Amino acid sequence: MTQPALRERTLGQMLDEAIEKYPDNDAVVYADRDFRLTYKEFGEVVDQTAKGLMALGVEKGHKVAVWASNVPFWVTLQFATAKIGAVLLTVNTAYKTKEVEYLLSHSECEHIFIMDGFRDTDYIQTMYELVPELKTQARGYLKTDRFPHLQKVFFLGQEKHRGMYSMPELLAIGQMVPEREYLARQDTLDSHDVVNMQYTSGTTGFPKGVMLTHYNIGNNGFWIGENQKFTSKDRVCIPVPLFHCFGCVLGVLACVSHGASMIILEGFNPVLIMTSVETERCTALYGVPTMFIAVLEHRLFDKFDFSTLRTGIMAGSPCPVRVMRQVIDKMNMDEITICYGLTEASPVMTQTRVHDDIRKRVETVGRAMPEIEVAIMDPDTGLEVPRGTVGEVCCRGYNVMKGYYNMPEATAKAIDKDGWLHSGDLGVMDEDGYVTITGRIKDMIIRGGENIYPREVEEFLYTMEGISDVQVVGVPSRKYGEEVGAFVILKEGYEYAPEDVRDYCRGKIARYKTPKYIHFMDSYPMTASGKIQKYKLREMAGKLFPQAMK
């Protein structure tokens, strides 16, 4: 069978194609609130939202941030922004004041949508704290020295908040834009335009804005769906965050490119996952290993029917053999797949296939996606190493990001002159092309699928009075793969307990970045040249905190 070539189309064109072919198929469903839109209905909401954005001055190339959990309007905004040439800027729901401030400033964001809050963070209050002018200036005329590019703030709900536009207002204003203007805007778009920007720790340094095009993520989403054998009859349960590529590319774009139904959960809840799978007769389920473990070990597991499940994706961290066998045997997911990649790769570069044996699905992260080259390179020479030899996992192809926003030097470090994107991960490729990840060159910590760069946490902790030096490393964890650990040297005269450090972090940086394990010491292991040996700290962490593996 001849596979289709890469597609030169925008995300808006992808949605329009699904609407034309499958107008009456369910597009977006929330099982917990009886919210259901067919592709035709979803398309109408997208168009009205897009026109509202145009009426309020959202231009081609403007960044539109979304700081919200998986609420219904999230997916609407993903396509509404795409249809008018704006760039969807995804914001991690766990972010606190300091991180949102950095993102809005560095991205030069023009517009932001927020919900009321998430867990212990009040988003509305955070925005008023960051942009006090919202309470004193007329909507549409916002001027703030702190964020000179910021023009408008929207609230993802019915309620009115000072200085913000509500969703009913946005939709009503959309009536002002004639259809010809809307279509004329779409005619100016190109599949190689940037459509999505996500902040990631990248290979080094502070978070960077990864610029992804329609061509990047549209094609990646299509092939992810193809590798699961998706058709318009599939119904995919998506409990993973939409602000990650896992949700908005592996989930949304894999579905829309095949006319499949998206059964979306606003947040992770094992009972709601099981309820959604049973009541909506889902054929696929996504999650990180910890999500699947939480479902399998739930006391109500045996009460639910998983017979309709067939496939899905497990990604984010290595999958234990026992868990994979249980998912296949107890949840009927004979064709579950494993994906590997990074945001800069749109994000998937390798994936197992539905008929791969269990060994490949547990011991490897699959083989190269169609139309993508994957190679294992010697980190020192940049040359490809023989099969069976450990080296850096690199990829080249349509999926490689356009670059980091306003960071040409960092972009050049990540993508070499021959177009290879360097992952910073160590791996080995077997004779059949299957890749196994063995470690990391970079210091990145991956906690339950969340990327954490130690330097960002270290720089924050340096602001705590009494800390002389701090080194942050990953602590091996059975539940999350890794947890954040901090080795702290205090200034003379100071005495802290671990809880004092955690209290300092609370409310200022995301909870998942806050060190769970803290050890105070007088000095660090050093090389002869005076360089701190972080690998020795990682070894120490495993011995000091064995409870993490229980």
Q: Model confidence over 472-486: pLDDT tens digits?
A: 999 989 889 899 999
Among 303, 330, 357, the domain-final residue is 330
Q: What CATH number is associated with residue 149?
A: 3.40.50.12780
Predicted confidence band at 439 (pLDDT cuts at 50, 70, 90)? confident
Question: Which residues, including other chains, have CB under 8 Å from residue 278's CB and lie 6 or more apart?
Answer: 304, 305, 306
Task: Indicate whether 147 and 278 sit together in one domain.
Answer: yes
- Count of other CB atoms within 10 angstroms of residue 42: 25
Asked, for residue 468, whether it belongs to a domain, the answer is yes
Distance of alpha carbon 58 from alpha carbon 66, whole angstroms: 14
* Domain count along the chain: 2
Distance of alpha carbon 534 from alpha carbon 442, whole angstroms: 11
Q: How far are the Cα atoms of 246, 288, 303, 520 from residue 271, in angstroms, in the given order?
A: 21, 16, 10, 40
Q: pTM for this one?
A: 0.85
Please give the residue that has the higher pLDDT: either 319 or 209.
209
Asked, for residue 362, whether it belongs to a domain, the answer is no
Question: Which residues, including other chains, have CB under 8 Å from residue 332's CB and lie 6 or more apart?
Answer: 306, 307, 308, 309, 310
Distance of alpha carbon 210 from alpha carbon 466, whole angstroms: 35
Q: What CATH number is associated with residue 464?
A: 3.30.300.30
Nearest to 147 by CA among 207, 102, 116: 102
Among 269, 303, 330, the domain-final residue is 330
By percentage, how much of the chain surpasses pLDDT 70? 97
Distance of alpha carbon 32 from alpha carbon 22, whole angstroms: 24
135: left (phi over 0), alpha (psi -120 to 50) or beta: alpha
171 is in which domain, residue-wise? 11-330
Predicted confidence band at 202 (pLDDT cuts at 50, 70, 90)? very low
| pLDDT value, residue 1 | 39
In single-letter form, the type of residue at position 206 comes to F
Distance of alpha carbon 49 from alpha carbon 167, whole angstroms: 9
Predicted confidence band at 443 (pLDDT cuts at 50, 70, 90)? confident
Tell me the sheet residues that pair with 481.
477
Q: Where are the extended beta strands (E) located within 7-110?
A: 26-30, 35-38, 63-67, 87-90
Please give the residue that has the higher pLDDT: either 58 or 468.
58
pLDDT tens-digit series, residues 310-362? 999 998 777 777 889 999 999 999 999 999 999 999 999 999 999 999 889 88
Check the CA dihedral 435-437-441-446 and report its sign.
positive
Structural contact between residues 309 and 283, judged by C-beta atoms closer than 8 angstroms: yes
Q: Where are the extended beta strands (E) located within 343-390?
A: 348-351, 367-368, 372-377
**Tokens of residue 278, six digits:** 């049973």
Q: Is residue 4 over pLDDT 70? A: no
132-136, 185-189, 443-447, range with the lowest pLDDT: 443-447
Asked, for residue 103, whether it belongs to a domain, the answer is yes
Chain mean pLDDT for the chain: 93
Asked, for residue 405, whether it belongs to a domain, the answer is no
CA 536 to chain centre: 30
Asked, for residue 105, whether it belongs to a domain, the answer is yes
| pLDDT value, residue 529 | 42
Predicted confidence band at 399 (pLDDT cuts at 50, 70, 90)? very high
Q: Is residue 533 over pLDDT 80? A: no
Provide the 3-class DSSP secondary structure of residue 62: coil
Q: Is residue 437 over pLDDT 80? A: yes
Nearest to 163 by CA among 126, 127, 115: 127
In single-letter form, the type of residue at position 38 comes to T
In single-letter form, the type of residue at position 438 comes to T
CA angle 308, 232, 338 (to 5 degrees): 60
Asked, for residue 344, whether it belongs to a domain, the answer is no
57-76 burial, b for 16+ CB within 10 Å, e for fewer? ebeeebbbbbbbbbbbbbbb
| pLDDT value, residue 203 | 43
**Radius of gyration, alpha carbons of the chain:** 23
| pLDDT value, residue 205 | 57
Please give the residue that has the higher pLDDT: either 259 or 450.
259
Q: Which DSSP category does 402 fall into?
A: S
Predicted confidence band at 126 (pLDDT cuts at 50, 70, 90)? very high
Nearest to 338 by CA among 329, 349, 330, 346: 349
Predicted confidence band at 290 (pLDDT cuts at 50, 70, 90)? confident
Tell me the sheet residues that pair with 428.
436
Asked, for residue 357, whether it belongs to a domain, the answer is no
In single-letter form, the type of residue at position 22 comes to Y
Structural contact between residues 201 and 207, judged by C-beta atoms closer than 8 angstroms: yes
132-141, 294-303, 447-456, range with the lowest pLDDT: 447-456
pLDDT tens-digit series, residues 23-63? 999 999 999 998 999 999 999 999 999 999 999 999 999 99
DSSP characters for 167-224?
A: HHHHHHHGGGS-HHHHHHHHHT--TTSEEEEEEE--SSSS-EEEEEEHHHHHHHHHHH
By percentage, how much of the chain surpasses pLDDT 90? 80
Q: Is residue 446 over pLDDT 90? A: no
Tell me the sheet residues that pair with 314.
287, 338
Asked, for residue 427, whether it belongs to a domain, the answer is no
Among 308, 330, 352, the domain-final residue is 330
Give the N- to C-terminal CA distance of the chain in Å, as an integer: 48
